[in-house]
């Protein structure tokens, strides 16, 4: 498995913050080089997300075996179940990308692997955001009462949604609008 981008790619990286049109590679980059770089980036992103969801999932698997969990009410158990299932979905999505890569690697399916992996990574991030939000709500609700737990849940979902999905979507939309206006000016 390739773990880093070749020095040739590093030399052509645009300045920080410079926008590249979606679907296009770096200047002078061939289609094969672009696909290789995208695959490496995808696998590295999965490597970043996996440890967090693994630790959370392991923690959640141990919770029901704690003595105090027997005192959890129906709301706490529901929060726990949603968090556990969300973490399991995240793990499944992250590992599915790797499994698809392994199964299809020698079948010239890199473009498909990248498209599928990107979708699965996003789905896994949604699962991870929900798992973390519900886990925090469970813990704070158990300690301080359900009202605090619900507030933590709302804040967690808003925080993860804004930082992980809304801010990048706004940036993407602004960048594509910039590209369109630049193309109209040049055309």
> 21 pLDDT exceeds 60?
no
What domain count does the chain have?
1
Domain that holds residue 70: 36-186
Residue 158 forms part of a structural domain: yes
> 1 pLDDT exceeds 70?
no
Residue 63 forms part of a structural domain: yes
CB 42 within 8 A of CB 114: yes
Residue 52 forms part of a structural domain: yes
Residue 169 forms part of a structural domain: yes
Average pLDDT, rounded, for the chain? 86
Q: What is the pTM of this model?
A: 0.78
CA dist list (Å): 110 to 3, 26, 119 = 16, 18, 14
Residue 124 forms part of a structural domain: yes
Residue 16 forms part of a structural domain: no
Residue 1 forms part of a structural domain: no
CA dist list (Å): 58 to 2, 50, 61, 132 = 28, 12, 5, 13
> 187 pLDDT exceeds 80?
no
Cα of 49 vs its chain's centroid, Å: 6
CB 135 within 8 A of CB 83: yes
Q: With pLDDT > 90 as the criterion, what percentage of the chain qualifies?
A: 57
Beta-carbon contacts of residue 110 (< 8 Å; ≥ 6 apart): 35, 36, 39
Residue 15 forms part of a structural domain: no
> 12 pLDDT exceeds 50?
no
> 97 pLDDT exceeds 80?
yes
């Amino acid at each position: 498995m390739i773990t880093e981008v070749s020095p040739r790619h590093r030399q052509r990286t645009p300045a920080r913050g410079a926008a590249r049109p979606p679907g296009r590679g770096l200047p002078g980059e061939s289609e094969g080089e672009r696909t290789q770089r995208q695959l490496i980036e995808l696998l590295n992103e999965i490597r970043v997300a996996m440890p967090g969801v693994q630790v959370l999932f392991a923690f959640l698997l141990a919770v029901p075996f704690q003595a105090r969990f027997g005192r959890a009410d129906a709301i706490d158990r529901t929060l726990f179940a949603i968090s556990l299932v969300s973490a399991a979905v995240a793990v499944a999505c992250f590992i599915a990308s790797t499994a698809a890569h392994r199964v299809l690697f020698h079948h010239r399916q890199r473009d498909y692997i990248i498209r599928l992996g990107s979708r699965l990574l996003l789905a896994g991030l949604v699962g991870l955001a929900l798992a973390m939000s519900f886990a925090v709500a469970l813990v704070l609700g158990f300690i301080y009462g359900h009202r605090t737990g619900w507030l933590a849940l709302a804040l967690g979902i808003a925080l993860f949604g804004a930082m992980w999905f809304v801010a990048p979507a706004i940036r993407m939309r602004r960048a594509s609008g910039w590209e369109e206006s630049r193309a109209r000016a040049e055309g």
